[in-house]
Amino acid sequence: MAEIEQEIRSMVAKIIKRDEKSIEPGANIFTEYGVDSLLGVEILAGLDKKYGLDVPEQKLREIKTLNDIVRITKEQMSKKAG
């Protein structure tokens, strides 16, 4: 699963235009990296495109950190597989 975490970190870094090594997994992406709701939706769209996940926009309220994005992605992948 570390591969998924790295893929997500890389995708988020591209969207928010930051070096992926500078993104702390537990840092609040909205307050610390300036992510707004549009970028948040773009991150969800990126998950949809990369993994074929239909993550509802309501899930955006649950996302504050990279760890949250990874958790939600894993949850959605489990739902899809199950």
Sign, Cα dihedral of 8, 14, 20, 25? negative
**How many angstroms separate the CA atoms of 64 and 62, rounded?**
6
Q: Which range of residues forms the domain containing residue 56?
A: 2-81
Pick the closest to residue 14 from 56, 61, 49 (CA basis).
49
Number of domains making up the chain: 1
**How many angstroms separate the CA atoms of 80 and 70, rounded?**
15
pLDDT truncated to tens, each residue of the chain (82 aa)? 589 999 999 999 999 999 999 999 999 999 999 999 999 999 999 999 999 988 888 888 899 999 999 999 999 999 888 8
pTM, 2 dp: 0.90
State the CATH number of the domain containing residue 45. Answer: 1.10.1200.10
Q: Hey, which bits of 1-82 come out as E strands?
A: none
**How many angstroms separate the CA atoms of 54 and 14, rounded?**
20
